[in-house]
Structure 1
Amino acid sequence: MKKAITINQEDNLGVALTDLKKGEQLTVNGYTVTLTVDISAKHKFALENLKTGDEMYMYGLVVGTANGPIAAGEPITVSNTTHKATQFSEEKTSEFTWKAPDISKFEGRTFNGYHRADGQVGTANNWLVFPMVFCENRNINVIKKAFEKALGYEQEDPYTQFLENIVHNHATGKGIDELTLEKQEKTASKSPFENVKIKFITHQAGCGGTRQDSDTLCRLLAGYLNNPNVAGATVLSLGCQNAQTHILDTAIKALNPDFSKPVLYFDQQATGSETELLENAIKATFKALVEANKLTRTPAPLSKLAIGLECGGSDGFSGISANPALGHVSDLMAALGGKAILSEFPELCGVEQVLINRMSEPQLAPKFANLMRSYSNAAVAVGSGFDMNPSPGNIKDGLITDAMKSAGAAKKGGNSAVNDILDYTEYVKKDGLSLLCTPGNDVESTTGLVGSGANVVLFTTGLGTPTGNPVAPVIKVSSNTKMAERMSDIIDINTGSVIEGTKTIEEMGDDILEYVISVASGETEAKADALRQEDFIPWKRGISL
């Protein structure tokens, strides 16, 4: 196993693949350096002497400048580095060529999915229950509790028993330190529905904020209803909120004029008593589940997959192992006629020109540039900026600047042509790679991906995060073996073998697509689904990075 590498021949920063000791002499990309201090795995170090203002390069891109003199072999830190990103033009600066990957292994392959009337195919069959406004969250939770108990979704809760034992020992004067949590087996489901699941969404939006936020919520929910993983929905409305049901109806028709899924509306103020509202909603929802359960899985080509590409809790290995492996999956999708959606615009800062050079149509670049600049300006207007995007966890594990983080994050989009630019809540239409404007916030971005049509999400992480979604399976891909082993309950796939040198990016990407096919067919359950991690946070635009 190599001790350190560069990612591009133009780079003047090395990446430690393992813990390095002060005084070690390394030869990396033609540079021979002696380390001035211990350097932890994932962190970067200078390969040449840098003067104040000298640019630092990774992935062949500018990722920062030196605040002062940095000696060869000295680590790159927040104190000696300033964020700097490569500038971009709306005009292409180089010709685009792309060699599609070998797809012979996947040609003719299918997954077993749920076919919808509009031609989309779901990897799941979910009936949604959600509110138009936060005032209805309690009623949603009442319905949720009733259905989950009646349908056998409830699981034995080892934590409640654990706490009861603690309370008992405290009350009887016994110690609690010796008590341990005993894991319980899941209660077998007694649901009468084999082919449909009921999923519940709550949120804190719909009224009280700006009308723009409420309208955006309606467009987002329209995308969820149009997602092929959804069979239909029960919708609770208070009646007086900003997010009116007719706005949702209009958003649905604008998105899909031929939309034909059942959507059941219940208005509390029009109904009267809460009891009557809940009785009506529960009976109608059960009848809808009976109908939705009649749909069964049948084979569909891989071109019917729409894969969301996401990262969260990134580390210094994410851009070397997990993200490029997803990039290979993205390229496979493009070659197979499927869809891939790359989100998180703050994490494309510094790679704009590379992406613009890959755009298949001239009108895409101005839209992309306008979205990037508008978002960046909005962040600055509230006292922030893309340069403040790396989290403390990112920095601790080697991602010092936003440009450094972005250069690695963009690797999830592979190398194929960029065929479309989507603003938040716009639905994916074109095959191949699309870029979707979302924040870098994990849950907000994943929520947006599913609202734009992703029927499965690939989510890379180097630090670990439990993020899931109520509609689409979220498959967690670890960048390193240590974290995958430590947090095995949330990690589906480990790409640490790329760092260790036992697998190539292409081999790892092929493995990931095989796993996606299994999950999409209902043969394998994503860890986030097994843990019932169902996160949903709409983006309040201009506030979140």
Structure 2
Amino acid sequence: MITTKQSYLQIHPKDNVLVALQDQEAGTGIYFNGQEFPLRETVQAKHKFTAADFAPGAEVYMYGVLVGKTTCALPAGSLLTTENLKHAAQDFAQRTGQYEWQAPEVSKWKDRTFMGYHRADGQVGTRNYWLVLPLVFCENRNIETLKNAFLKELGYASPDKYQAQVRELADLYRQGKDLREYKPNKPSESAAQHRLFPNVDGVKFIVHDGGCGGTREDADNLCALLAGYCVNPNVAGITVLSLGCQHAQVAILQEKIKERDPDFSKPLLIFEQQQAASESLMLSEAILQTFIGIAEANHCERKPATLDKLVIGVECGGSDGFSGISANPAVGYTADLVAALGGKVVLSEFPELCGVEQELINRCVDEETADRFVRLMREYAARAEAVGSGFDMNPSPGNIRDGLITDAIKSAGAAKKGGTSPVTDVLGYGQYVRKRGLTLLCTPGNDVESTTAMAGAGCNVQLFTTGLGTPTGNPVSPVVKVATNTSLANRLPDIIDLNAGAVISGDKTIEELGEEYLEYIIGLASGEYDTKAMELGQDDFIFWKRGVSL
């Protein structure tokens, strides 16, 4: 536990750098390992400084792993920057030994349940959505047409305060008022619209830019991803719009669905424009059949489900220097609780596992699982290098500005979201979760490409940590935003759900927050409240294209 008196921290006994928990002035005396040295420069909170004298090319360790090498001599107390530290990570090889896991105590949750939607395949949804999606980008406009037709009339559209603001400005302009003196009115808290179908939590619409024009690999991967959305337990039924001539054919989607659920029985309504008498008639029939399907889905009601039916995705985005100290390990402890209860946890973002591969390999339950992880990591790295990139280019300007100056530093903290449980499975992009415990899912570090894939892998809730703030959400899988620091939670309360800043202040332990987050998930899964992203209608969906355009 971090104490309130601490102003800097050594994360792991092997580390030879320290993290500033508060802003530190140049000249401040640092006491570490029986030695005293001054800070050579001002060090802002979240950033790192050397705890010893470094020669050029010296290895730098954080979280107990290699995270970089110095480019010049650095005396103790020097601020680490992109100029004096370059990315470096230890190599990885075969699994060594049998991993022994000390599972957390979960007896107080053994008999707990959440109120979920039970599906015919044994999965349990935390929400009951009807999903409308296109097989190709050519149908995006028709998807938007259906969205405009359904949401308001069924009571799912929220009042648009920004539309109201434009209306106010237009009225003032007509009156000849000086708009420079305009101050927006505080939006009124309007009551939620009456929903015609109270047991249907929403009608969700996906648009994307794939399905044709790229490689057959991309088309197949898109169909696999969309099949995962169809099978996801939060989805009650699906309306599919197809043009007809695209690479992503209806038959491929149906094949991918059967691979995930051979006895798939959800309503799957397919409308192909090139086989219709007209676009207007196709849309009219789609509206009719979708309405009938939603009415049928309304008959499904929430019933108690044991916590082993939880499938939790863990993600980070807009990360900062506190991510690996507060929010990520707290979410990791929640992940361990879910795994110990027999649930499923999905950890993605393979570029952000760079440098901790060997630890994850050693945690794999068998050689086959470990070998699959090694193969996917090496294939991904090779693809990146083939186009002149690499995992070392992963940190964004925002990451660097807030203390994550190499990919290995970012990765070592990011991996903490996965907790400490054994790795029971490793999946490629677009595959569906199969086993209880911790699964590694190959996705990019891109926030939305990753959250999109985790929903397609079957996650019925996602925990998303952020140090800088991001509004990311998902159409079918509720995304919980966890702030790494209290300043962010206070500054952006409209996008943040939970705050891990109490770890930094020393007011709470990682374990205490991890337990609180599990309790939050139980309420969320039961429909007692929505996340901020859900309230904002933040339904992000980006498919990961890996081929060229043809």
TM-score (structure 2 length as normaliser): 0.97
The answer to whether structure 1 residue 441 and structure 2 residue 446 are counterparts is yes
Larger deviation: 450-459 or 29-38?
29-38
Which aligned pairs between 1:136-155 and structure 2 lie closer than 5 A?
136-155=139-158
Larger deviation: 24-33 or 498-507?
24-33
User: How far apart in 2 are the matches of 1:115 and 1:251?
Assistant: 22
Question: What residue identity is the alignment partner of 2:539?
Answer: E
Q: Over aligned residues, Cα RMSD in angstroms?
A: 1.2
The answer to whether structure 1 residue 55 and structure 2 residue 55 are counterparts is no
What does residue 462 of structure 1 align with? 467
The answer to whether structure 1 residue 107 and structure 2 residue 110 are counterparts is yes
Question: What residue identity is the alignment partner of 1:202?
Answer: V
CA distances 1:80-118 after superposition (whole Å, capped 9, x unpaired): 0110011111232x5522211111231211000000011
SS in structure 1 at match of 2:179: coil
8 Å CA contact 2:111, 2:306 repeated in 1: yes
User: How far apart in 1 are the matches of 2:87 and 2:501?
Assistant: 28
User: How far apart in 2 are the matches of 1:287 and 1:211?
Assistant: 34
Shift of 1:333: 1.1
What does residue 191 of structure 1 align with? 195
User: How far apart in 1 are the matches of 2:209 and 2:33?
Assistant: 51
Which aligned pairs between 1:27-426 and structure 2 lie closer than 5 A?
27-28=31-32, 30-92=34-96, 95-182=98-185, 183-196=187-200, 197-426=202-431
User: How far apart in 2 are the matches of 1:106 and 1:531?
Assistant: 31
User: How far apart in 2 are the matches of 1:17 and 1:241?
Assistant: 53
User: How far apart in 2 are the matches of 1:416 and 1:542?
Assistant: 34
8 Å CA contact 1:162, 1:180 repeated in 2: no
SS in structure 1 at match of 2:338: helix
SS in structure 2 at match of 1:56: strand
Inter-CA distance 186–138: structure 2 relative to 1 (3 Å threshold):
farther
8 Å CA contact 2:215, 2:547 repeated in 1: no
8 Å CA contact 1:378, 1:542 repeated in 2: no
8 Å CA contact 1:155, 1:187 repeated in 2: no
User: How far apart in 2 are the matches of 1:30 and 1:314?
Assistant: 32
Name structure 2 gaps, 5 residues minimum.
Answer: none
Shift of 1:173: 4.1
CA distances 1:125-171 after superposition (whole Å, capped 9, x unpaired): 11101111111111111111011121122232221232233344445
8 Å CA contact 1:6, 1:29 repeated in 2: no
Larger deviation: 140-149 or 166-175?
166-175
What does residue 539 of structure 1 align with? 544
User: How far apart in 1 are the matches of 2:190 and 2:48?
Assistant: 44
User: How far apart in 1 are the matches of 2:33 and 2:158?
Assistant: 54
User: How far apart in 1 are the matches of 2:218 and 2:197?
Assistant: 36
8 Å CA contact 1:421, 1:435 repeated in 2: yes
Question: What residue identity is the alignment partner of 1:308?
Answer: G
Question: What residue identity is the alignment partner of 2:266?
Answer: K
What does residue 488 of structure 1 align with? 493
CA distances 1:50-80 after superposition (whole Å, capped 9, x unpaired): 0100000000000000000111101000000
User: How far apart in 2 are the matches of 1:310 and 1:446?
Assistant: 7
Shift of 1:28: 3.6
8 Å CA contact 1:375, 1:542 repeated in 2: no
SS in structure 2 at match of 1:105: helix
Question: What residue identity is the alignment partner of 1:163?
Answer: V
SS in structure 2 at match of 1:454: coil
Shift of 1:184: 3.2
Question: What residue identity is the alignment partner of 2:217?
Answer: Q
User: How far apart in 2 are the matches of 1:186 and 1:364?
Assistant: 52
Shift of 1:175: 1.9
Identity within the alignment, %: 57
SS in structure 2 at match of 1:266: strand
8 Å CA contact 2:214, 2:547 repeated in 1: no
8 Å CA contact 2:353, 2:412 repeated in 1: yes
User: How far apart in 2 are the matches of 1:90 and 1:259?
Assistant: 38
User: How far apart in 2 are the matches of 1:20 and 1:157?
Assistant: 44
User: How far apart in 2 are the matches of 1:340 and 1:130?
Assistant: 26
TM-score (structure 1 length as normaliser): 0.98
CA distances 1:294-322 after superposition (whole Å, capped 9, x unpaired): 00000000000000010000000000000
Inter-CA distance 99–30: structure 2 relative to 1 (3 Å threshold):
farther
Question: What residue identity is the alignment partner of 2:290?
Answer: T
Name structure 1 gaps, 5 residues minimum.
Answer: none
Inter-CA distance 145–109: structure 2 relative to 1 (3 Å threshold):
same
SS in structure 2 at match of 1:14: strand
Residue of structure 2 aligned with 1:524, choices 526, 529, 533: 529
Question: What is the aligned length?
Answer: 542
Residue of structure 2 aligned with 1:22, choices 20, 23, 26: 26
